[in-house]
Amino acid sequence: MSKREKRFVVLYVVMLFVFFISRWINLDSYSHYDGKISHMASTSVPDFNNRYGSGINSYPYIEYYKDNDTINVTHKGWSSVFLSENENVTVLIDSSDESDVMLLTLFNYWLPVYSIVLFLFIAFIGYGGVVTFDQNDYVESQREKQEQ
């Protein structure tokens, strides 16, 4: 592993560490409530090109208690990965914006899909750039050796 590759890996790990630390610190701005997934709803997702057929998008309906009231909430943007009916979850409500409701789960709070895509993009582009620079330096050093 070259010096550039080692630096890239260290910077990438530091970036991930800072991301998760910022998510952990940001938890203080949310109120926490115990909730339960009352049921999973599904909507069909049509394929307009008719190449792959249609799919199904599932999302949870959450029931939680706040000030002796039962509140039901859902959001079609929530990931249903690893969630099932009657599962207990922690509901996060932003203290400054009551409409900002999140689930404290791996793919809904800690590592949302957009973050995964961004991290993979940075990893592939960054590592590809490092390898390209290393190859260019190697080719240049070989040319210099041949000229001598």
DSSP 10-21: HHHHHHHHHHHH
Mean pLDDT of 56-80: 81
Quote the CA–CA distance of 23 and 29 in Å, as a whole number.
10
Mean pLDDT of 73-93: 82
| pLDDT above 90 (res 25) | yes
- H helix and E strand count, the chain: 2, 5
Contact criterion met (CB below 8 Å) for 36 and 87: yes
Rg of the chain (C-alpha set): 23
Element (H, E) at 139: helix 113-147
Give residue 50's pLDDT. Answer: 62
Contact criterion met (CB below 8 Å) for 109 and 102: yes
Mean pLDDT of 12-23: 94
In three-state secondary structure terms, 4 is: helix
Average pLDDT, the chain: 84
26-65 confidence digits (pLDDT tens): 998 899 999 998 888 777 766 666 666 566 777 888 898 8
Quote the CA–CA distance of 63 and 72 in Å, as a whole number.
4
Nearest to 138 by CA among 11, 8, 2: 2
- Please calculate the CA angle 132-136-137 and round it to the nearest 5 degrees: 120
- Model pTM? 0.70
